[in-house]
Chain A
């Protein structure tokens, strides 16, 4: 049960599961995203990111568990969720026969609220011509139109599925600009999926690493960078490591070099590491976010 003294999270997933035949794509996922935060879901292709977002949006059936979005149980009332969430899918299926201006007018008619100022700003920033037919738009223009109609109703939650994959650098920058503008204008919860570190670093305050349908990591981005460290030690001849810190994510011994990545590093760890193992020249290295994620995935593969 959720503590009543706390505001309800924007997204609350409990044991969310999706199976395709024998394959479990999303495997008992538990996730809570507090209101006002920006959550980045990262993971390799096929990790279950898109499937998770689609279940949350009521676009895919849930096989087990539940999803509560803005206090609404998605299975019970998917329409209510769609009305309150701005969603930019990976593949933009906007009414191709309409003109840009018609799409905007049409979408606008579904929502009680519409930020005309933001809509006009984005139209201008994105250089979208209201007279142009949707089917004549490039992939980048289509992505920008999808974002514009998703944020103009000022949704409490914005969900972006791989929003910037396949966009050229200039369009990417404009798209990012649009997302940031809409984030600045009101306190909004944003949930996005991505497979690039750059998006996570720029947008997310909290990150979840999804791998084989499970969350391997769920942490504020800053903590992950400051607390995950790689330790390199040189082993004395003919010995192997005897003691491992509890929060070891991944380790490798090659010749006399012992590498290990720990999830909750503190300086106090080093005397114990030296004391319990026959090592010398212990060195602590900082890791980039990319290395952190790689080590988590390698660690999981090694454990399997």
Chain B
């Protein structure tokens, strides 16, 4: 996980999304402990208050749970919730893309063609990596 200070996405959001995808990808599994606020803040080089707020947001989303005095853990359904949250972000990105396409007066067929193009390019690229 890396923080991009030049991004238009607030650092707080970047941490939330970074942890969501780390949990969805199985880097942290259900019931496992997450890095403490202090460790993550120093690791990512960001304000500990921001990390704390990101953890609170993930708690609210039921991706993680805090056990008082012990630490933060991935919730039982954490990975599934994280995947759901990741899908929300993907959906929003698609919406932006479709908005852009509509502004440019592209037809539905053309939008689908472009989408399939991008998708097959991506899968080829990831296959080549493996």
Contacts and interface: CB of A to CB of B under 8 A. Distances in A.
Interface of A: 36-38, 173, 176-177, 180-181, 183-184, 197-198, 200-205, 221-222, 225-226, 281, 283, 286-290
A184 B11 contact: no
B38 A202 contact: no
Interface in B65-112: 100, 103
Contacts of A173: 45
A176 B41 CA distance: 11
B11 A202 contact: yes
B103 A281 contact: yes
Contact of B7 (A176, A222, A226, A288): A288
Contacts of A184: 37-38, 41-42, 48
A225 B42 contact: no
Contacts of B22: none
Contact of B11 (A180, A221, A288): A221
Nearest to B44: A202
B2 interface: no
B9 interface: yes
A33 to B, nearest CB: 14
A231 B9 CA distance: 17
B40 to A, nearest CB: 10
B6 interface: yes
B45 A225 contact: no
A281 B103 CA distance: 6
A153 to B, nearest CB: 20
Interface residues on B, range: 20 to 34
Nearest to A220: B10
- Secondary structure dominating the interface of B: helix
Contacts of A180: 41-42, 45-48
A177 B42 contact: yes
Contact of A222 (B6, B10, B46): B10
Interface of B: 3, 5-13, 37-38, 41-42, 45-50, 100, 103
B18 to A, nearest CB: 15
A289 B14 CA distance: 14
Given A180-B48, A197-B5, A221-B11, 9 more contacts: A36-B49, A37-B49, A38-B47, A173-B45, A183-B48, A204-B47, A283-B103, A287-B8, A288-B7
Contacts of A290: 6
A202 B45 contact: yes
Nearest to B37: A184
A202 B3 contact: yes
Nearest to A38: B47
A213 B111 CA distance: 51
A184 B45 CA distance: 12
Given A201-B11, A205-B50, A221-B11, A181 B6 contact: no
A205 B47 contact: yes
B120 to A, nearest CB: 28
6 contacts: A181-B42, A183-B47, A184-B37, A204-B47, A283-B103, A290-B6
Contacts of A225: 8-10
Contacts of B42: 177, 180-181, 184
Contact of B47 (A181, A203, A226, A287): A203
A223 B4 CA distance: 17
A268 to B, nearest CB: 17
Nearest to A201: B5
Nearest to A222: B10
Contacts of B50: 205
